[in-house]
């Protein structure tokens, strides 16, 4: 059996399902390009039928990202599979990833189908996907809680129908390593035809065991691991791709497996995903956290000064962490700025570069030194813009201990300026109410936080917040400025723009469905 482990990255599909995360098409393409540079084998670019925006993102990635397989997710339904193929068909290597649940609890309460019906649906889905592409992955959702004999029956049928990869997901993070490894081992020895396909695992982190379970699966025969950068995803997230890669790389002496990943791209990939999703990396996060290679205890520092390997099992340079933090300033030119962006993993179009450079110059007039963290914040603003979005034209605040906070806000959309004023119980509340007046949307802010991007009096304030209108759908916003009120306004506006875009997309999709229904009625 081959010792090569394939990395299937689902940052852009399962990762984007993290509460409050909503990436634009441009942001997804940037992340996909960096994932290709990292050397993952498969990028699951999205769930094409879920929305027009997701379809557009998957299609854009399939057309522009080279050197990697691009997969689209689909339920075991014909319309899903057709839509997935339409999205991925222009990829150098296109994969359709179709799934259906196999646990009795899912069959009874979610699908309301019998075992026989699920088996038939799985076979039909694989055959339909295979009619489009020779690269078909089948997943048995909630495999860890499925009846073993029935699970094996479905997997065998999917292989016979033409699946080339079979994925065994621990959908709810229920498994523990010994049990999970045993399950994979049994599948690899008992399912007819299993030697013809790649066995994959998709482990969730509800018990903090996603990476451990993934490694246990590899040891027992799995040759594809699915996960997300920084471990993001539904609930507690997925197996962290960077941890799987570095565990296999660092302990090759014990495990004996290897991937095709370029480890030196790990850190910049992690930072890019963190910046664009707004999901900060905890300081003690393995491999990529701020403290991953930090040493404070005196005895550790003494050992490090004498020999790095006394307290570091990995060289920071191996994952792309540089100890230098080179500074750009107001006299830096476009070439130096572009080079820094590329070093950080950002490859922008000419228009995007011009816009980012203008923001950089504007910031450099306020700050003496611009760090990599400042640049990341600038780029996030550039890439998070949405079509037909509102932009902040101006902001005027009147506030103090003896006056009612008042905000006057000017927003521009499609070249037209809209202005409103509002009072609030604080300046941020007043800003939000003024924005609500202009947009006609009454939002509830459920979270607000601010961090200093860098140190010093002139540090950029990085505001992250979440809003909702119905208590169900949550939209995250991020804004940066040396003025924290301006940063708050930008963050709130960023979230509102995402809400507006999602509403318009849903309306367009609904109109399309009605048109299809009308056409169908006309044909009857």
Domain ranges of the chain: 6-277, 293-323, 334-383, 391-507
SS (H, E, C) 136-188: EEEEEECHHHCCHHHHHHHHHHHHHHCCCEEEEEECCCCCCHHHHHHHHHHHH
**What pLDDT sits at residue 523?**
42
Q: Closest Cα to residue 122, out of 137, 108, 134?
A: 137
Residue pair 61/29 in contact (Cβ under 8 Å)? The answer is yes
Stated as kind and residue range, the H or E segment containing 440 is none
Residue pair 77/41 in contact (Cβ under 8 Å)? The answer is no
Q: How far apart are CA 177 and CA 186, in angstroms?
A: 14
Residue pair 418/408 in contact (Cβ under 8 Å)? The answer is no
Tell me which residue has tokens 């050197």: 67
Burial 394-433 (b: 16+ CB within 10 A, else e): ebebeeeeeeebbbbbbbebeeeeeebebebeebbbbbbb
Q: List the strands of the sheet with 403-413, edge to edge.
A: 391-400, 403-413, 416-423
**What pLDDT sits at residue 307?**
73
Concatenated DSSP letters of 297-364:
SHHHHHHHHH-GGGT-SS-GGGGT--S----B-TT--HHHHHHHHHHTT----HHHHHHHHHHHHHHH
Residue pair 16/22 in contact (Cβ under 8 Å)? The answer is yes
Q: How far apart are CA 64 and CA 55, in angstroms?
A: 14
State how far the alpha carbon of 77 is from the alpha carbons of 67, 73, 135, 158, in Å.
29, 11, 17, 14
> Would you give the distance in Å from CA 312 to the centre of its chain?
29
Non-local (6+) Cβ contacts of 465 within 8 A are 445, 447, 448, 449, 476, 477, 478, 488, 491, 492, 495
Q: List the strands of the sheet with 474-481, edge to edge.
A: 444-452, 461-468, 474-481
**What pLDDT sits at residue 215?**
98
Q: How far apart are CA 374 and CA 453, in angstroms?
A: 6
pTM (2 d.p.)? 0.78
391-507: CATH number: 3.30.160.270
Q: Which fold has domain 6-277?
A: TIM Barrel (3.20.20)
Stated as kind and residue range, the H or E segment containing 62 is helix 52-64
Residue pair 442/435 in contact (Cβ under 8 Å)? The answer is no
pLDDT in tens, the chain (524 residues): 789 999 999 999 999 988 778 888 989 999 999 999 999 999 999 999 998 989 999 999 999 999 999 999 999 999 999 999 999 999 999 999 999 999 999 999 999 999 999 999 999 999 999 999 999 999 999 999 999 999 999 999 999 999 999 999 999 999 999 999 999 999 999 999 999 999 999 999 999 999 999 999 999 999 999 999 999 999 999 999 999 999 999 999 999 999 999 999 999 999 999 988 888 899 899 999 988 887 655 555 556 556 767 878 888 888 988 654 455 777 778 888 888 888 777 788 888 888 888 888 888 887 766 777 778 777 766 666 666 689 999 999 999 988 999 999 999 998 999 999 999 999 999 999 999 999 999 999 998 988 877 667 667 788 888 899 887 788 888 888 889 999 999 999 989 988 888 887 777 767 666 554 544 444 44
Q: E strands along 174-296, which residues?
A: 198-203, 224-227
CA atoms within 13 A on the CB side of 147: 9
Residue pair 221/199 in contact (Cβ under 8 Å)? The answer is yes
**What pLDDT sits at residue 509?**
66
Residue pair 226/236 in contact (Cβ under 8 Å)? The answer is no
- Cβ neighbourhood burial of 52 (10 Å; 0-12, 13-18, 19+): middle
């Amino acid at each position: 059996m081959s010792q090569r482990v394939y990395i299937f990255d689902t940052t852009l599909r399962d990762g984007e399902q993290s509460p409050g995360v909503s990436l634009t098409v441009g942001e997804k393409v940037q992340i996909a390009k960096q994932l290709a540079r990292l050397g993952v084998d498969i990028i699951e670019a999205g769930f094409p039928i879920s929305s027009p925006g997701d379809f557009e993102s998957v299609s854009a990635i399939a057309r522009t990202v080279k050197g990697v397989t691009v997969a689209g997710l689909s339920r075991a339904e014909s319309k899903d599979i057709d839509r997935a193929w339409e999205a991925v068909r222009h990829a150098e290597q296109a994969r359709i990833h179709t799934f259906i649940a196999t646990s009795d609890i899912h069959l009874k309460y979610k699908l309301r189908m019998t075992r026989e019906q699920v088996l038939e649906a799985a076979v039909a889905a694989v055959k339909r996907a295979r009619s489009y592409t020779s690269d078909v992955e089948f997943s048995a959702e909630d495999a860890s809680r499925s009846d073993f004999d029935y699970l094996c029956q479905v997997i065998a049928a999917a292989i016979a129908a033409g699946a080339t990869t079979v994925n065994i997901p621990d959908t709810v993070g229920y498994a523990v390593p010994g049990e999970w490894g045993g399950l994979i081992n049994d599948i690899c020895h008992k399912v007819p035809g299993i030697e013809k396909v790649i066995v994959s695992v998709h482990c969730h982190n509800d018990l903090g065991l996603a990476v451990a379970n993934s490694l246990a699966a590899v040891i027992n025969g799995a040759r594809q691991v699915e996960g997300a950068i920084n471990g993001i995803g539904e609930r507690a997230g997925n197996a962290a791709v960077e941890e799987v890669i570095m565990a296999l790389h660092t302990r090759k002496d014990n495990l004996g497996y290897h991937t095709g990943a370029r480890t030196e791209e790990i850190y910049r990939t992690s930072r890019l995903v963190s910046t664009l999703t707004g999901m900060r990396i905890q300081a003690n996060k393995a491999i990529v956290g701020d403290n991953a290679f930090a040493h404070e205890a005196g005895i550790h520092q003494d050992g490090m000064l004498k020999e790095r390997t006394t307290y570091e099992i990995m060289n920071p340079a191996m994952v792309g962490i540089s100890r230098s933090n080179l500074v750009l300033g107001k006299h830096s030119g476009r070439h130096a700025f572009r080079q820094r962006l590329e070093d950080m993993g950002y490859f922008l179009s000419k228009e995007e570069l011009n816009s980012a450079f203008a923001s950089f110059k504007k910031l450099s007039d306020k700050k003496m030194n611009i760090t990599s963290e400042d640049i990341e914040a600038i780029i996030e603003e550039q890439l998070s813009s949405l079509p037909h979005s509102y932009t902040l034209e101006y902001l005027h605040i009147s506030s103090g201990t003896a006056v009612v906070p008042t905000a006057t806000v000017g927003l521009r959309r499609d070249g037209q300026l809209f202005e409103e004023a509002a009072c609030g119980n604080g300046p941020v509340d007043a800003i939000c109410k003024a924005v609500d007046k202009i947009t006609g949307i009454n939002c509830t802010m459920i979270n607000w936080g601010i961090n200093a991007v860098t140190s010093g009096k002139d540090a950029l304030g990085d505001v992250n917040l979440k809003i909702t209108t119905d208590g169900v759908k949550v939209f995250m916003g991020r804004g940066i400025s040396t003025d924290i009120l301006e940063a708050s306004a930008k963050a709130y506006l960023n979230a509102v723009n995402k809400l507006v875009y999602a509403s318009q997309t849903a309306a367009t999709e609904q109109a399309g469905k009605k048109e299809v229904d009308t056409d169908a009625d006309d044909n009857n």
